[in-house]
Amino acid sequence: MPDRPALTHGPLVAVVAYDGLCTFEFGVAYEVFGLPRPEMGPDWYRYQVVAVEDGPLRAAGGLTVTANGGIDRIREADLIVIPGWRAIDAAAPQLLLDALRDANLRGARVMSLCSGITVLAQAGLLAGLKATTHWRYAASIAARFPDIALDPSVLYVDNGAVLTAAGSAAGIDLCLHVVRRDFGTEAANSVARRLVVPPHREGGQAQFIPGPVPRNHEKDRLSPLFDWMRANIASDMPLATLARRAGMSLRSFQRRFEEATGVAPGEWIATARLREAQRLLETETQADIEEVARLAGYGSAATLRHHFRTRLGVSPAAYRRQFS
Nearest to 113 by CA among 17, 35, 29: 29
Pair 114, 84: CB distance under 8 Å: yes
CB 299 within 8 A of CB 293: yes
56: cis peptide before it, omega within 30°? yes
Distance of CA 214 to the CA centre of its chain: 24
Handedness of CA 226, 232, 234, 236 (dihedral sign): negative
CB under 8 Å to 244, separation ≥6 — which residues? none
How would you write the pLDDT of the chain (324 residues) with one tens digit per residue? 444 444 447 999 999 999 999 999 999 999 999 999 988 988 999 999 999 998 789 898 888 888 888 898 899 999 999 999 999 999 999 999 999 999 999 999 999 999 999 999 999 999 999 999 998 999 999 999 999 999 888 888 999 899 999 988 889 989 998 998 899 878 888 898 888 776 666 555 655 555 544 444 445 678 888 889 989 999 999 999 999 999 999 999 998 888 777 778 998 899 889 889 988 988 888 899 999 999 999 989 999 999 998 888 889 998 888 776
**Segment 318-322 long-range contacts (CB within 8 Å, at least 24 positions apart):** 318/202, 318/203, 319/203, 319/207, 319/278, 319/281, 320/281, 320/282, 320/285, 322/201, 322/202, 322/207
Q: According to the model, what pLDDT value does residue 256 have?
A: 87
**123-to-37, 180, 227, 269 alpha-carbon distances in Å:** 33, 27, 48, 41
- Residue 324 contacts residue 285 (beta carbons within 8 Å): yes
3-state secondary structure of 45: coil
CB of 234 closer than 8 Å to CB of 222: no
DSSP bridge partners of 81: 15, 111
DSSP codes, 87-156? -TTPPPPHHHHHHHHHHHHTT-EEEEEGGGHHHHHHTTTTTTSEE---GGGHHHHHHH-TTSEE-TTSSE
Q: Is 224 helix (H, G, I), strand (E, B) or coil?
A: helix
Catalogue all structural domains in the chain, each as residue range(s) with its CATH number: 12-207 (3.40.50.880), 219-323 (1.10.10.60)
* Residue 57: strand pairing partners: 65
Instruction: Give the number of other CB atoms < 10 A from CB of residue 143.
Output: 8
Question: Rg for the chain (alpha carbons), in Å?
Answer: 23
| pLDDT for res 84 | 96
Tens digits of residue pLDDT in 103-159: 999 999 999 999 999 999 999 999 999 999 998 999 999 999 999 999 888 888 999
pTM of the shown model: 0.65
Angle, to 10 degrees, between the axis of helix 185-195 and the axis of helix 170-183?
150
Sign of CA dihedral 147, 151, 155, 160: negative
Question: CA–CA separation, 309 vs 324, rounded Å?
Answer: 18
pLDDT at 217: 45
